[in-house]
Structure 1
Amino acid sequence: MKKLTKLCILWSLMTSVLLHTLYIPAVNAEESSQTLTILFTHDLHDNFLPVESVQNGDKQYAGGYARLYSAIQTVRAQEQNVLLVDAGDYSMGTPFQTIFQTDSPELRLMGQMGYDVVTLGNHEFDYRAEGLADSLQTAVNSGEPLPQMVQSNITFPVDHDGNLTDSLEHLKQSMEDYGVKEYTLIERNGIKVGIFGVMGADSASKAPMSEVQFEDEVIHAKRVVDILKQEGADIILCLSHSGTWPDTSKSEDEILAKKVPDMDVIISGHTHSTLEQPIMAGDTIIASGGCYGENLGRIDISKQDNVWTLLNYELQPINETIPEDKYINQQIQNYKTVVEDKYFSLFWKTYDEVIARSPFSFPRLEDMYPVHNESTLGNLISDGFIYTVKEAEGEAYEPIAVAIVPIGTIRGSIPEGDITTAEAFSISSLGIGADKLPGYPLISAYLTGKELKTLCEVDASVAPLMDDAQLYMSGMNFTFNPNRLIFNKVTDTSLVNEQGDLEEINDKKLYRIVAGLYSAQMLSVVGEKSFGLLSIVPKTKEGTPITDFEKYILHDGDGNEIKEWYALDHYLQSFEEVDGVSVIPEYYNHTQGRKVVDDNGNLFAILSNPNHISLVVYGVVLVAAGFVTFIVVKIVKRRRKKSFDFLD
């Protein structure tokens, strides 16, 4: 009997332990089903291959889709409910963009990597409406799995007769064929996630040739959020190509979160921000993971007491410690061959051809933006423009006074070591020419001497307000004082001739300038950015304002457009060779006094030599001060009179 009792007790204990063991996974499964992992990227810019940099003399490689995919797969193996999204600008920035229209490698690779949802960025419109339409159609025709695309504030403007242009009609049809939606609902283990996309005002302004328009993102976000709530979304996720800024009053996604508080998460692209910790705007999580696929962003949120709570936020570096996925790597190599066959062969070049060597590293692009001064990289590119045009024109060459390179058109830098054709392309990779081939061409125009001085003022006064406006120039030196009144910061300007001698600028004379197609077009809108106080109008040799810039594209002896990237490539090969390879001279390891910042806070330095704008401002201030003084004197006299009357 005692033995039977012991057996019963032992059986009860074993049963209890077994039930307890079985019960734990049941609890964990329930908790897991209420946890969502959001993996995110943005601003990939066609960086299929790792990005090279030099840190403390050592080469390092970050990003690359093959490693990125391995990191994604690792998380998928560990977590039950995973979403993978991208917040736009997945294209444009490396030679892979040259087959954007013909092969659509970006969307096809993202489909193979299992991206659930993506949105559009401004750079998806770099090849205009027609280019994006072709890319979408090519992706659809491939028959491969593709990510869902969402965009909620795009509109298609019509002409006076209510018709779309042929290119907009093509884009609209291609978006329909692809299945682009305002929003989508995705379910993960009973969790309904509503996802939509918007493009912000700053981003939209940087797609001037898109032909489409983007309406107020706040209005459309509110509208779509209301729809998603009605359709039962548990979580609302916004893919916003708007960005964040240090100045919260201008930080578009922070403003969006405050005005549309029912969004749970915003994946914020466009500004290439790297947020090591998310921005919390009320209950909305704003996340950014940097650019070029150098990080894989991760957000884990869990439902606790009927409220979604942030459990974890991290940016996983995509570096050499992560193995490359062989399949994705092979797909990239295949596309690399296509780039060589379809694009670089037109220039008698190959992707990995070593064209030059740099014995030093140029400043990184991310280090150039915060600093308002001369850049050795800007010097190199602008010098290359003049050199290549001179070579192309030969005996017919007419001297170029100034070559202009805005920082916004520079997409990469040069680390120490060998430089390939692909790397030269990536530095000046933007846009498309009239020949429908990728790469902005150079154009020739004329500016008066007064307008050349205005160029310097644009850099000095407008660049602090709009960072993409910072200019690097060959052929002109200038000095500015950042403490002086806006639009009157430049204190000295001079031209530099081919012999290196300084020349005084004649305000009324027309001088030849060279710039990229996009840069030249943007010069015409300087007036808008300066509230109409500055004016630059590119002209013909005869002084007639240019309206169709494509007519003034520069060509080589064979009639080919001189692309910005090709001008740099050609210049890089012009230097003295060592062991059969052109080597960048030490000259470009130092600045040359082309842009001098005179940070003088002395009152005389600030107020001396005012231009007409400053004189007007000073006049207004003096009149206002005089008026205030007059009022104060009147008030004092009246009070004194009342005091005397009281004494009487």
Structure 2
Amino acid sequence: MKRRWPIFLLTILLLFFSVPTAAYAEDSNQDIRVLFTHDLHSNILPYETLDNQSNVTTMGGYARLATLIKQNRNDSTLLVDAGDYSMGTLFNSLYRTQAPDLTLLGQLGYDATTLGNHEFDYGTEALKSDLLAAAKSNPHPTLLASNLVFGEDDDSKSIQQAFETYGSLKTKIITKNGIKIGVFGLMGKDAQSFTADYAPLSFADVTDTAKSCVEDLKSQGAQIIICLSHSGTEEDIKNSEDQQLAKAVPDIDVIVSGHTHTTLESPITEGSTTIVSAGWRGQNLGVLDLTLKADGSTTVKDYALKASTNSIPQDEAIKKFAETYKASVQTNFLTPLGMQYDGVLAISNINFDRSEDALQNFGNNNIGDIVTDSQLYYAKQNGIDATIAVTCAGLIRDTIYKGDLTTSQVFNIQSLGESADGSMGYPLVDFYLYGSEIKTLCQLDPAFSKMIPDIQLSLSGLRYTYNDSRLPMDKVISVDVQDSQGNWSPIVDDKLYHMTCSKYLADMTGLVTDMTKGLVTLTPRDANGNTNTDTAAFISKTKEGKDAKAWIALASYAGSFAKNESGISVIPAQYNNARDTKTAVSNSMTTFFENPSIYALALYGIILGIVLIVIVIILVIRHHKKGGRRNKKRLSDKL
């Protein structure tokens, strides 16, 4: 018995300590909650949209977002944003002076955000002012612009100083409930290409920066690594930047993916990386629950998107902040223009095509129709005899809903850009193109809009037919123009046509020439045909000598229609359906080769040349073979 007692005691001790081991391993798992948004675009107040039954409703706004954050926050919560927090509403007017976006993100309790391309819409000096204004508020979210590169010139140093004053960092360790979370932020390649003006700054390579940040954060003891990426995802994985980033840098645990306005109902898993997106304009608050295991690995415990519908009560404190900013917009921006924030400009009897649908589907849409018509209307109101107007899908940011159309809603539709004097909204330009150049412009539309939806065109005073089965830059078969009396006729190659569009779109003409190495040229000209690559020379002016604005053109046009009994303009039935400015024709031998473009003719010429060369080579070879046989026959006859 005495000999067995130590063995018995040892067995009891082993059982005592071994049973809780598994339980201890389970208990050592730690949970972390990540709340996230991206692409808020200054939607500080609720906005109109359509519900699942296509009825007009309101959603979003920071006061509702505040409520959702409070409802979903726990003791282990990280709250982050992936950029494009600004630009999209009349609150843009306060960007330089009051920084409402960053200030309110601070009030909402955000831990960190990053820069999107739209933070650069007004240039780096405006971004500098925004950061300095936001730095005065407390708290404000840490700005993580990890691949932004500052130069050695004085302007760069001045901007860098503003970033430092604000408290911008390349990486940051944020501790939540004892868990060290490493966070960094990136601007992707596509976002960079859509950045209006980031000079004198530049961007470092995304992958190299990410690897460096991950290494830095690990050296600081990060247990979970999160990237705030303004890059986005696409259906085609080859073009899905954040999926490619996850493959290239597998040690990133979570990518909060902004820029493409994607709504992911369930996360994308790429290796050990989780990619999440919550849509845009604050329509959802993303909720990601992670488990940090004892072995250091991270798994997804739960994921949800909390919709910011009108059933969500508004937080009163944030609502008061928002209303204060609204009053400031009215006083400082709208009153000098003789406008009211909620002033009704017109009534619509229908819901227009949504701007998102115009991006997703190639073809015609009535929101593009009314925008381009407004540009022609406004040109004529200011003594400009343009007959063609063009815009692109990326410049149409919202749509017109059934019911009242207000000043703020009109601005939301055409909210991007500013003039050189700092006044909000892209200015309109008017210039001339030859008919042959307008044909090229039309060819670009079906050739590339499906790959780059933002460049899809909407047209007024111009229409074309196309066969989608034809070669790129040869899809368009015929192009017609409309004169001031409404008559249509085929476009004439060597005739100058007067057109109007946003300065942003006009600036793209030079980009097209550069990208194609001069193979495709679109050169703005004056009435005499003289070229000028400086599109600022073509800015349209109002009768008062101010820059004509795209958003004011739409506001003016909306108020010009026949009035109802209350004296309010009613948008006419001609806009109930999209007009047929782009007409697809069925494929046949006739429509495939009809009216080939100069690019197709050049290609056909090359192909024909190659065929002729091959034929000549074959004939020469045959001739030599026949000659060889004849020589052999003569030789044998002699023998």
TM-score, structure 1 normalization: 0.88
2:452 pairs with one of 448, 466, 472:
466
2:472 pairs with one of 486, 489, 494:
486
| 3-state secondary structure, aligned to 1:452 | helix
1:218 equivalent to 2:212? Answer no
Structure 1 match to 2:599: 613
Q: What is the rounded CA distance, in whole Å, between the counterparts of 1:293 and 1:411 in structure 2? A: 15
1:43 pairs with one of 39, 43, 51:
39
Residue type of the partner of 1:285? T
Residues 451-496 of structure 1 show CA distances to partners (whole Å, capped at 9, x for unaligned) of 1111111212121222111111111111111111000011011111
Structure 1 match to 2:266: 277
Q: CA deviation at 1:157?
A: 4.4
Higher mean C-alpha displacement, 38-47 vs 546-555: 546-555
2:393 pairs with one of 402, 407, 431:
407
Structure 1 match to 2:299: 309
Q: Any residues of structure 2 matched to 1:101-116 within 5 Å, and which?
A: 101-116=96-111
Residues 320-341 of structure 1 show CA distances to partners (whole Å, capped at 9, x for unaligned) of 2211100001110110000111
TM-score, structure 2 normalization: 0.90
Q: Any residues of structure 2 matched to 1:147-546 within 5 Å, and which?
A: 147-157=141-151, 163-164=153-154, 166=155, 168-211=156-199, 212-306=201-295, 307-393=297-383, 397=384, 399-530=385-516, 532-546=518-532
1:84 equivalent to 2:79? Answer yes
Q: What is the rounded CA distance, in whole Å, between the counterparts of 1:511 and 1:36 in structure 2? A: 61
1:67 equivalent to 2:64? Answer yes
| 3-state secondary structure, aligned to 1:343 | helix
Question: Contact 1:537–1:545 at 8 Å: present in 2 too?
Answer: yes
Question: Contact 1:54–1:416 at 8 Å: present in 2 too?
Answer: no
Could you say if the C-alpha distance between residues 193 and 630 of structure 1 is closer, same or farther in structure 2, counting changes exceeding 3 Å? farther
Residues 409-464 of structure 1 show CA distances to partners (whole Å, capped at 9, x for unaligned) of 11100111100000001100101102211111111211111111111112121212
Residues 127-178 of structure 1 show CA distances to partners (whole Å, capped at 9, x for unaligned) of 101111110011113x3210000011112346xxxx24x4x44322211111
Q: CA deviation at 1:548?
A: 2.6
| 3-state secondary structure, aligned to 2:78 | strand
Q: CA deviation at 1:58?
A: 2.8
1:584 equivalent to 2:547? Answer no
| 3-state secondary structure, aligned to 2:360 | coil
Q: CA deviation at 1:367?
A: 1.1
Matched-pair identity in %:
39
RMSD value over aligned CA atoms?
2.3
Residue type of the partner of 1:466? I
Q: What is the rounded CA distance, in whole Å, between the counterparts of 2:26 and 2:346 in structure 1? A: 58
2:91 pairs with one of 79, 87, 96:
96
Structure 1 match to 2:634: none
Structure 1 match to 2:636: none
Q: What is the rounded CA distance, in whole Å, between the counterparts of 2:32 and 2:524 in structure 1? A: 54
Residue type of the partner of 1:323? P
Q: CA deviation at 1:530?
A: 4.6
* Structure 1 unaligned blocks of 5 or more: 1-22, 642-648
Q: CA deviation at 1:223?
A: 1.1
Could you say if the C-alpha distance between residues 146 and 506 of structure 1 is closer, same or farther in structure 2, counting changes exceeding 3 Å? same
Q: CA deviation at 1:304?
A: 2.6
Q: CA deviation at 1:222?
A: 0.9
Could you say if the C-alpha distance between residues 28 and 300 of structure 1 is closer, same or farther in structure 2, counting changes exceeding 3 Å? farther
Q: What is the rounded CA distance, in whole Å, between the counterparts of 2:605 and 2:229 in structure 1? A: 45
Q: CA deviation at 1:80?
A: 2.1
Q: What is the rounded CA distance, in whole Å, between the counterparts of 2:50 and 2:173 in structure 1? A: 43
Question: Contact 1:495–1:502 at 8 Å: present in 2 too?
Answer: yes
Higher mean C-alpha displacement, 537-546 vs 411-420: 537-546
Q: What is the rounded CA distance, in whole Å, between the counterparts of 1:632 and 1:361 in structure 2? A: 65
Residue type of the partner of 2:578? T
Q: What is the rounded CA distance, in whole Å, between the counterparts of 1:358 and 1:460 in structure 2? A: 30
Higher mean C-alpha displacement, 105-114 vs 602-611: 602-611
Question: Contact 1:459–1:470 at 8 Å: present in 2 too?
Answer: yes
Residue type of the partner of 1:497? D
Q: CA deviation at 1:591?
A: 2.5
Q: CA deviation at 1:632?
A: 10
